A and B are shown apart, each in its own frame.
Chain A
């Protein structure tokens, strides 16, 4: 019973990181209706820049977070210019394949600059995990949960209480009417992309800072986990992305405990496949960021 509770707690903490990744992913998909495969690699680029800064300048934790987010946004802007701005009215497949091409590019640049398979990254917390009622929760997991909650609240405020949010929701509902009403669609999309990249950068920073290391696998890992969480929660819905991320974390934690590490991913994919094949109503109901608050 205690194991079950502990696994649930671990799963939630893990799921919070997936939720954060999925939020950025979903923001891009929900607004642009385009899939950005380069999302994870941009996060990787941000984390590699921070690692480089750490190795050369011994920067502090906050400075590293800033570097990660800034570099992720920079990489995101590059991807947006080359893959999404030119294909805004064109083919979604072409945009996606172009973003895959830049994935290869970004990963290669990172690997050329820092060719080792693993780099140390300063840990967020070195101390012992918090203990209560026989359960333990590491400090970084707590930060991850808090950060995810904070991003959810801020994102909700931004989308439903600001002019920018109004523009974003108008662009989702009816791009043509929005542009006729004087909303600069290109600018809105660029800002959404930057916002999504910043959330991705934050997620990446928290993930590598809790692992205490960076590997080149982070790019593919982030894209796959973000995608999986987004799909589990329906497509393009922000609350769905958060729930999907938490669900994915819980599924992984429990199936790892019951069936072992290899079965963990198998169960997650099996569930996704079964859900897609069955297409329950809730997977399609939440398909957009709702325009009414």
Chain B
């Protein structure tokens, strides 16, 4: 594989974590504009742990995921009882606050005669744990996809289980689910925490791929993109968000056919697609059809 293909595939993998994070909340009927904040928390936390304190990447990733889950709980606790747009807006406000806090965050240390660490709007340079250990881009790509595969298998198993059915029932009618004895509030909090951890994992991997991050990377555009990916791909299966990411980053950006007009093509495609399939390509009906066909 040439470097360009590896780069595109890596990005598809990285943003899939974020799209899955948005998807998880959509499944339980909540729309979040703020998952990019947890992606950012993961990126910053992971970067600080490896670059400033010499923690190994796997440990840093676990730490960042824990922090991402905690941050998601902190946002979800006061807001998850809000309905629809109110919840979406509160997550947007929280995420923009996080971005501004990244801009204000200056936390630098001298490591090996070099000053590293988050430097406010100047960004955070030198997250080189992966680079310094001589991990080849292809190997890093394999690591990303191995993790993504593990997450996907877990999600697909959950979807087949009783828990999956409960989650879907909360998403389609939370009052009915609550009347049937489901603790909707606790379930949604759990999903929000899992989604936060998942976004943070993507963030850690993103930071170590780019070696440089800045607050602007985690703005509202990224959040709405991840929401769009989940919705285009389809809400019927965890594979849906991946289809969305692959379509935009893989097929349109990667092919370079459209050059500077990619967003025009992508935008039009999405709008028309949503008219034809309001719940995405792989919606619940499509998934059932495929299951009936191949089982």
In the complex, identify which listed stretch (A47-55, A81-89, A205-213) lies at the interface while the others stay far away.
A81-89
Cβ contact within 8 Å between A273 and B94:
yes
**Known A262-B104, A277-B78; contact A97-B93, beta-carbon cutoff 8 A:** no
Contact partner of B268 (CB less than 8 A), chosen from A101, A107, A277, is A101
Which residues from chain B contact A97 at a C-beta distance below 8 Å?
227-228, 231-232, 270, 274
What size tier do the contact residues of chain A reach? 35 or more
Please indicate the chain B residues that have their CB under 8 angstroms from the CB of A173 in the complex: none
Taking CB atoms, residues of chain B closer than 8 Å to A37 are 224
**By the criterion CB–CB under 8 Å, are B31 and A93 in contact?**
yes
Q: Is the beta-carbon distance between B266 and A101 smaller than 8 angstroms?
A: yes
A66-119 with Cβ < 8 A to chain B = 82-83, 86-87, 90-95, 97-98, 100-109, 112
Are B270 and A276 in touch, CB under 8 angstroms? no
A273 to B231, CA, bound (A): 25
Q: Number of B interface residues at 8 Å Cβ cutoff, please give it.
A: 42
Residues on A with C-beta less than 8 A from B84 are: 92
User: Count the A-B residue pairs with Cβ separation under 8 angstroms: how many?
Assistant: 112
Segment touching A, from B145-153, B182-190, B257-265: B257-265
Q: By the criterion CB–CB under 8 Å, are B97 and A105 in contact?
A: no
Question: Do A105 and B220 contact each other (CB < 8 Å), given the known contacts A266-B97, A269-B100?
Answer: no
A98 touches B97 (CB 8 A): no
B266 is contacted by which of A92, A98, A104, A273 (Cβ under 8 Å)?
Answer: A104
A272 to B94, CA, bound (A): 9
- Binary CB contact string for chain A from 150 to 193 against chain B (1 if under 8 A, 0 otherwise): 00000000000000000000000000000000000000000000
Q: Does any Cβ of B come within 8 Å of A285's Cβ?
A: no
Chain B residues whose CB sits within 8 angstroms of the CB of A87 once the complex forms = 274-275, 278
Contact with A along B264-288 (1 / 0, CB 8 A): 1011111110110011000000000
Q: Does B253 contact A (CB under 8 A)?
A: no
Chain B, Cβ-Cβ closest to A83: B271
B228 touches A272 (CB 8 A): no
> For chain B residues 203-261, which have a beta carbon within 8 Å of chain A?
220-221, 224, 227-228, 231-232, 260-261
Tell me whether chain A's interface is mostly helix, strand or loop, or mixed: helix
Does A220 make an interface contact (CB < 8 A)?
A: yes
Whether the pair B260, A112 counts as a contact (CB closer than 8 A) is: yes
Nearest 7 interchain pairs by C-beta:
A105-B267, A101-B270, A277-B78, A108-B263, A94-B278, A273-B93, A276-B90
23 pairs, CB–CB < 8 Å, chain A vs chain B: A86-B275, A91-B278, A91-B279, A93-B31, A97-B228, A97-B231, A97-B274, A101-B268, A101-B271, A101-B274, A104-B267, A105-B263, A105-B268, A105-B271, A108-B261, A227-B92, A235-B85, A235-B86, A266-B101, A272-B89, A276-B90, A277-B79, A279-B82
Residues of B within 8 A of A (CB): 26, 31, 78-79, 82, 84-86, 89-90, 92-94, 96-97, 100-101, 103-104, 220-221, 224, 227-228, 231-232, 260-264, 266-272, 274-275, 278-279
